[in-house]
Structure 1
Amino acid sequence: MHAKFVALPFVTRRVLIALALFLLAFVSVHLPKNGFSETLCFGSLFGLLWAVGILVPLLKVTFFVLRWVLRYHVLFKY
């Protein structure tokens, strides 16, 4: 089964991984609220962002905004 999965094209593998992680996040949202279900939901959504391919640009923008906000607070608030 693993050999068949690895033999698939790259985009198809990413789509299947994204679909599985989305379904896992959907199921974990409907579980009772505790630390495990919340960790499972956040982890699967993090993996979904990776599988879709927007995780790295999102992290770059987030770090840029964080750096800008910290610089603003240091220069103008104190």
Structure 2
Amino acid sequence: MAYNNVEELPAEITEKLPQHGQQIFLAAFNAAQSDGMSEDAATNVAWNSVSQEYEQGEDGQWHQKPEDPAVHDKSTVSGGN
């Protein structure tokens, strides 16, 4: 069952994820379902997608992961001749 918007997501998702996380879940779930995955498999894909940017805190809520400065401030080193 594809979701048309975040308001249709189950309460256990909307109560734990911030708006952006809900949007990630929705898009990943719908994409997985359109690829022919079962609802359970699509749910797993959606949670895996959410976990790329969010982590669950001790309070049970999902919080955006801190940015890794090493990823954004990499120096480019070329090994040319």
**Alignment TM-score, normalising by the size of structure 1:** 0.30
**Alignment TM-score, normalising by the size of structure 2:** 0.29
- Give the structure with the higher percent strand: 2
- Give the structure with the higher percent helix: 1
